[in-house]
Structure 1
């Protein structure tokens, strides 16, 4: 793979990751609700889930997804229900101000798991990577080496940009203080969580 192709791949990956989707909405919602560290934990969880899919696709183990497809459907539905419930609860949550005691107090294991589930249970993701990666592979070179480099690059870019979303949402969070803005914060984060849950539930195999 030439440097020109690699840089083109990096640019295409960055543009892809920057596009708002279920992962981005979940990261922003968790950050606005619990703080920056919680948003970063969500981005790490989603990157880990993406890494699992890349590993499965890279080793040609599509049969693993086929074998687990029924279980993944149930896991996806459970994750969707959980996110939607959290969204409703956040929408109806009492308004309170933000201070040092309630900042960054989200459950990191739970939000990591939510990020992981959203990333790994989307059946369209592995199919997309299968169509996206070959466009940048040089047949004259080692395909395995190129896939490894591209997968690692994808994960690094995804983690950086998803973390940037968390940091930006974290900067916005202190502005959403006071009774009126606190209610707005609850409505925004509740809506984002419900949309993410609904989107996860409505995903279909293609």
Structure 2
């Protein structure tokens, strides 16, 4: 792996990190409700899940997981149903609830667990680490070290994405100060999460 490889990897990786997927949407929603700091700390759950996936990819197990039809089905169904459950919770959330009292609604550990389960239950994340990272690994070099470097860069950029979406969500708190606007925001997020859940349930392993 050389500097040219890294120059190609960084923008492509950052585009993946910043894509408006379910976890980034959750960070935005958490920041609006609980604040930027809480949303960023909750993102630790996502990072832990991604570390596990990077280790799996480095050891070759991610390919086995992705090509195994039964394992793919289990991950797909669990992830899809969990997304639908989060979408339902957002849809029925009381828009009259004040954001000032929101931190007591769920612990930081609970929010981090949400992030972890959402990331771990997304088979497309496994595909990213199975098909994306290996493209930038030189088989003639030290494969393990290269995965370590690429994985660390991916996680660093993921933190940037978490913070970026969290700040954006926090800014929306002022825009959606009225209950009617909060209901609109919650239902937009609910619709996006629900669509992602349906997409996972309909995804094919090939």
TM-score (norm 2): 0.80
1:35·1:170 contact (CA, 8 Å) conserved in 2? yes
Structure 1: unaligned runs, 5 residues or longer:
none
Aligned to 1:190: 190
Shift of 1:120: 2.2
C-alpha change, 1:63 and 1:185, in structure 2 (3 Å) is closer
| Count of equivalent residues | 206
Distance 1:94 1:61 in 2: 43
**CA RMSD after TM alignment:** 3.0
**1:98 aligned onto 2:98:** yes
SS in 2 for 1:100: helix
**TM alignment of 1:11-160, pairs within 5 A:** 11-62=11-62, 65=65, 70=70, 73-74=73-74, 76-96=76-96, 98-103=98-103, 105-160=105-160
Distance 2:114 2:70 in 1: 19
Structure 2: unaligned runs, 5 residues or longer:
none
Distance 1:64 1:134 in 2: 14
2:79·2:121 contact (CA, 8 Å) conserved in 1? no
Distance 1:40 1:62 in 2: 27
Aligned to 2:180: 180
Distance 2:139 2:90 in 1: 51
Higher mean alpha-carbon deviation, 84-93 vs 8-17, is at 84-93
Higher mean alpha-carbon deviation, 169-178 vs 148-157, is at 169-178
